[in-house]
Amino acid sequence: MIPEPQRTYVLELWLELGPAVASFVLVGGQALKFAVPHARATKDFDFVLDVVAIRQGHVSLAAALNRLGYAVVPESHNFQFEKPIPNSAHTMRVELLAPDEYKRKNNFRVDIGDDVHARACLGGSIVLTESDSYEISGRLPSGVASRANIRVTRPHALVFMKCLAMDDRYRNLRGIDHYEHDRDSARTHVADIVDILTVQTDSARFRESFLKQFDRDLDLRTRLSQITWTYFARSDSPGLLLYEERLSENPDMGIEEISAERNRAHRLLSDLVFE
């Protein structure tokens, strides 16, 4: 679940946003914490927004973020916001995403209103549907106890988002200056996918849910079919090489252990391959 001190400030944000939080779905590394015990540490919060509901609502996201002391992250085009956490070296960083069908023409931005944008997210409409509500509890910055419900994307939807992100980073769409960072991000996305698959107790049911979510978007189904085949079909596919690179960063793992874990991951990842 969401650790402290970030949990306190998620509760603060949820209280400030009021009913509008029903239009937010948590994705990314923070969502991983609801799917995998002992998930990797991450401080950023990524949310896919229900654009229609937000536009029809009466809450100004810009005003709410401003009241809480958030500032636009430089060069983020008004879709990333952050603020320092008092008496701490930590920050709260929030990124807003939205289904890509609402994006501007020839632009990756989605207009939310009041100078707040979201980054277009392929498959965002599926994420909004494939989510569940979880209760989180803790204390507000004032010390007052607080509870809130937060929508979190389901594991099979998180996996397809991780596949898309892995593919983007592996192909280094941002250019050579970002190569090392993007390669490392691709490794992280593959490792996250393996972690999610590892904890599934019913692999057949997970595969069924993974495939069924694309019934409402056949173009995305085709895209994911290409990605899963390219990255996971063979033991020497790029996704397995990325995972081996991540394993090799662990000084406690020997060659035989790395080989065994890579083979185990291949068995898990090959379940995602489909036509």
Q: CB 97: neighbour CB atoms within 10 A?
A: 22
Q: CB 242: neighbour CB atoms within 10 A?
A: 22
Under DSSP, is residue 86 helix (H, G, I), strand (E, B) or coil? coil
Instruction: Identify the pLDDT of residue 258.
Output: 97
Tell me whether strands 131-139 and 145-153 are parallel, antiparallel or unpaired. Answer: antiparallel
Instruction: Identify the pLDDT of residue 75.
Output: 81
Which residues of the chain carry a pLDDT beneath 70? Answer: none
CA 164/CA 220 separation, integer angstroms: 10
Per residue in 118-140, pLDDT tens? 999 999 999 999 999 999 999 99
CA 127/CA 133 separation, integer angstroms: 13
Dihedral pair phi/psi, residue 135, rounded to 5°: -90, 135
Instruction: Identify the pLDDT of residue 234.
Output: 95
Instruction: Identify the pLDDT of residue 70.
Output: 96
Burial of 38 by CB count in 10 Å (0-12 exposed, 13-18 middle, 19+ buried)? exposed
Element (H, E) at 235: none
Domain coordinates in residue numbering, the chain: 6-153, 156-270
Instruction: Identify the pLDDT of residue 176.
Output: 81
Which amino acid is present at 136?
A: I
Per residue in 102-123, pLDDT tens? 998 888 889 997 779 999 999 9
Element (H, E) at 37: none
DSSP per residue, 39-85:
PPP--EEEEEE-HHHHHHSS--HHHHHHHTT-EEPTTSTTSEEEEEP
Instruction: Identify the pLDDT of residue 251.
Output: 94
- What is the model's pTM? 0.94
Instruction: Identify the pLDDT of residue 172.
Output: 82
CA 22/CA 9 separation, integer angstroms: 17
